[in-house]
């Protein structure tokens, strides 16, 4: 459909919890297509709607050749933990080791409103957890230990993109129950 600008760290929408999708309509399908096109163009392992300025609980992923999306995700995380490098399209060129569950079972819906269950481990589990965090207003740097977070913030402040003017927030056509900007 369309490649859209990705919101960068500092944009307030990245810190707001997204609202549940209630209308599985053409607008949602267009959003999923835009998320997918933008993610693949970036390229990235995942992209959440708030990163495009839309405060809805939907994300896409592209891991090891598998491309998918999930609406209104609910996660069951494993007790086993993995540590590994993680980055974010909203924090360009920033990569730090981040602790995540080793595997995940994610339940939600596809863009047509059909129930979906996605099971993944390692990189897919990391991507699903990362994108679901975006839907809760959480960035991966929030999950870093204090020393790494301090180093990440220093790197962000020194980056060329930090503080650049952000595009205007798109108003969602879906009912946001006061949660939109």
d(CA 181, CA 171): 7
Residues present in the chain in total: 181
Distances (CA, A) of 138 to 29, 67, 73, 161, 173: 25, 23, 15, 20, 24
Give per-10-residue mean pLDDT for the chain (181 aa).
90 96 96 96 95 97 96 97 96 95 98 97 96 96 93 92 58 52 40
Specify whether 131 is catalytic: yes
For the stretch 138-160, pLDDT in tens is 999 999 999 999 999 999 999 98
Which domains are assigned to the chain?
Answer: 12-158 (3.90.45.10)
Which pLDDT value is given to residue 177? 53
What is the enclosing helix (H) or strand (E) of 123? helix 122-135
Which pLDDT value is given to residue 137? 96
Q: Closest Cα partner for 49 from 86, 6, 110, 9? A: 6
Read off the pTM.
0.87
Which pLDDT value is given to residue 112? 97
d(CA 14, CA 12): 5
Which pLDDT value is given to residue 2? 87
Which pLDDT value is given to residue 169? 42
| CA 74 to chain centroid | 14
Which pLDDT value is given to residue 175? 58
Q: Exactly one of 66, 131, 147, 165 is catalytic; name it.
A: 131
HSE, CB side, 13 Å, CA atoms: give it for residue 63.
19
Which pLDDT value is given to residue 167? 43
d(CA 160, CA 45): 23
């Amino acid at each position: 459909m369309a490649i859209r600008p990705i919101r960068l760290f500092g944009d307030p929408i990245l810190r707001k919890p997204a609202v549940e999708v209630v209308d599985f309509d053409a607008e949602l399908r267009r959003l999923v297509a835009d998320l997918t096109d933008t993610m693949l163009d970036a390229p990235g392992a995942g992209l959440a709607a708030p990163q495009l300025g839309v405060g809805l609980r939907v994300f896409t992923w592209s891991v090891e050749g598998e491309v998918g999306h999930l609406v209104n995700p609910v996660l069951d995380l494993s007790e086993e933990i993995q540590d590994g490098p993680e980055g974010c399209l909203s924090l360009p060129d920033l990569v730090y080791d981040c602790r995540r569950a080793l595997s995940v079972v994610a339940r939600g819906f596809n863009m047509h409103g059909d129930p979906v269950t996605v099971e993944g481990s390692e990189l897919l589990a990391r991507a699903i957890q990362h994108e679901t965090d975006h839907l809760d207003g959480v960035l991966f740097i929030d999950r870093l230990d204090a020393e790494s977070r301090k180093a990440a913030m220093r790197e962000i402040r020194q980056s060329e993109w930090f503080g650049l003017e952000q595009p205007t927030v798109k108003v969602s056509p879906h009912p946001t129950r006061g949660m939109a900007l």
